[in-house]
């Protein structure tokens, strides 16, 4: 466990004005541990960093830094709270292989997940379609049941569904499941979005919360693209379920490719704008994914304890046919008209030629059965049932 003098030196180094991750790594490479950096003369430091930064390193710690050290000391007294520095045995080895590993990581939960040989990131839209959210949940659940640790960013939408799916598998089979790692864009003592407070607590108990940001760091726009390199860096591959063309998920996929990780994408309807990012990735060489086995086989992972994947193509097709066979003629007519597009009420009325009353009655019935989802803007989408 890192002692107080040691973590205080790390915090002082990283909180010095002008010292970011790259500068900190240069100083550490030149002089050793942070304590040794602060033992250097200004002239020695100026051979590595600008004079202004060298002077700042020799300055006395100010009140905000002393307060951060005191808060960190108190935070570390809690069970399962950890600080990991470059070179620590608990520091994730996959992250060390990247070009920009964080010098210091705050962690809350199961540290052993950082050394898993089977880690996969699942990312996507903050506002996915009903099918996109279900895909994220079901893929994460099946992969976690197969021993894979699911990495994501605890954002709304796909991230949250991926964490929930992984947690469900972990709690159903504690011996074989991979669980989940949430990489935060805030301090490890903050929860964002606030609606995920309960989710964060469950991840801390059964998985791992991870952040490079000091305690107390509030959500800021620039933090989230930065944390994406950690999501991909911790993972053997990245699976994008739904994403717009210009989205943080595609940033994560690009970073994964640059880090030598595999990139996977789930195709979707050409009518769904949230599928366009995945289609772009597929055109650029991402691996097309239709079932969990597509991921496991590409990464050469075997999972003898894995249950049949809920998203497997032939099972889905069988279930779809069973649903249609069991549906009333009116429901079959509406499902056929809807297909796999996302349509408004008026568009459905035009396709079916039916009255508004008939259409409304059928939609309500199918919503209650969980076979159609109502989306924002009074649009509708068919849902495949696992």
Run of H or E including 52: helix 51-58
The CATH number of domain 314-382 is 3.10.310.30: no
Model pLDDT, residue 316: 47
Model pLDDT, residue 327: 62
- Give start-end residues of each CATH 1.10.10.10 domain in the chain: 314-382
Model pLDDT, residue 303: 53
Model pLDDT, residue 307: 43
The CATH number of domain 4-77 is 1.10.150.20: yes
Extract the residue ranges of the chain whose pLDDT is less than 50.
304-314, 316-325, 386
List CB contacts of 304: < 8 A, sequence separation 6 or more: none
3-state secondary structure of 366: helix
Model pLDDT, residue 320: 45
Model pLDDT, residue 129: 86
Please state, in angstroms and rounded to a whole number, the distance separating the CA atoms of residues 324 and 367: 15
Model pLDDT, residue 324: 44
Model pLDDT, residue 313: 42
From the number of C-beta atoms within 10 Å of its C-beta (0-12, 13-18, 19+), residue 233 rates as buried
Contact between 260 and 234 under an 8 Å Cβ cutoff? The reply is: no
Partners of 381 in the β-ladder: 342, 373
- Give start-end residues of each CATH 3.40.50.450 domain in the chain: 111-308
What are the tokens at 70?
Answer: 């005191």
List CB contacts of 358: < 8 A, sequence separation 6 or more: 330
CA distances, 193 to each of 3, 153, 156, 264 (Å): 32, 11, 7, 26
Which fold does the domain 111-308 belong to in CATH?
Answer: Rossmann fold (3.40.50)
- The residue written with tokens 């995920």 in the block is 196
Instruction: Express each pLDDT in 201-234 by its tens digit.
Output: 999 999 999 999 999 999 999 999 999 999 999 9
Contact between 75 and 81 under an 8 Å Cβ cutoff? The reply is: yes
Model pLDDT, residue 174: 60
CA distances, 29 to each of 42, 106, 229 (Å): 17, 22, 22
Model pLDDT, residue 87: 85
Please state, in angstroms and rounded to a whole number, the distance separating the CA atoms of residues 47 and 308: 59
- Give start-end residues of each CATH 1.10.150.20 domain in the chain: 4-77
Please state, in angstroms and rounded to a whole number, the distance separating the CA atoms of residues 79 and 109: 9
């Amino acid at each position: 466990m890192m002692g107080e003098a040691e973590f205080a030196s790390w915090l002082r180094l990283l909180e010095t004005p002008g010292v970011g991750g790259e500068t900190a790594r240069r100083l550490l490479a030149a002089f050793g541990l942070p304590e040794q950096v602060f033992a250097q003369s200004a002239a020695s430091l100026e051979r590595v960093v600008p004079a202004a930064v060298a002077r700042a390193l020799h300055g006395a710690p100010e009140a905000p830094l002393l307060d951060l050290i005191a808060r960190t000391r108190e935070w570390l007294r809690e069970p399962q709270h950890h600080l990991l520095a470059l070179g620590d045995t608990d520091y994730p080895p996959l992250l060390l292989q990247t070009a920009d590993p964080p010098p210091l990581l705050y962690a809350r939960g199961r540290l052993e997940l950082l050394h898993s040989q089977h880690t996969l990131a699942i990312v996507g839209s903050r506002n996915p379609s009903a099918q996109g959210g279900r895909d994220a949940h079901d893929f994460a659940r099946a992969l976690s049941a197969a021993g894979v640790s699911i990495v994501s960013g605890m954002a709304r939408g796909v991230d949250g569904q991926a964490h929930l799916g992984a947690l469900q598998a972990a709690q159903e089979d504690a011996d074989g499941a991979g669980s989940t790692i949430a990489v935060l864009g805030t301090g490890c003592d903050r929860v964002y979005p606030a609606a995920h407070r309960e989710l964060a607590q469950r991840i801390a108990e059964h998985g791992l919360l991870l952040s490079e940001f000091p305690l107390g760091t509030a959500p800021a726009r620039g933090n989230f693209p930065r944390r994406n390199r950690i999501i991909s860096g911790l993972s053997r591959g990245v699976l994008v379920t739904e994403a717009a063309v210009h989205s943080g998920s595609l940033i994560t996929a690009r970073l994964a490719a640059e880090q030598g990780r595999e990139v996977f994408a789930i195709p979707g309807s050409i009518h769904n704008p949230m599928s366009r990012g995945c289609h772009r990735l597929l055109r650029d060489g991402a691996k097309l994914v239709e079932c969990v086995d597509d991921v496991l086989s590409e990464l050469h992972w075997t999972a003898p304890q894995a249950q049949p994947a809920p998203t497997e193509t032939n099972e889905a097709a069988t279930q779809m046919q069973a649903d249609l066979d069991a549906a009333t003629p009116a429901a079959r007519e509406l499902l056929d008209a809807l297909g796999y597009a996302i349509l408004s009420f008026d568009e459905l009325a035009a396709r079916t030629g039916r009255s508004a009353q008939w259409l409304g009655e059928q939609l309500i019935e199918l919503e209650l059965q969980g076979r159609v989802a109502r989306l924002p803007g009074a649009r509708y989408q068919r849902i495949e049932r696992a």
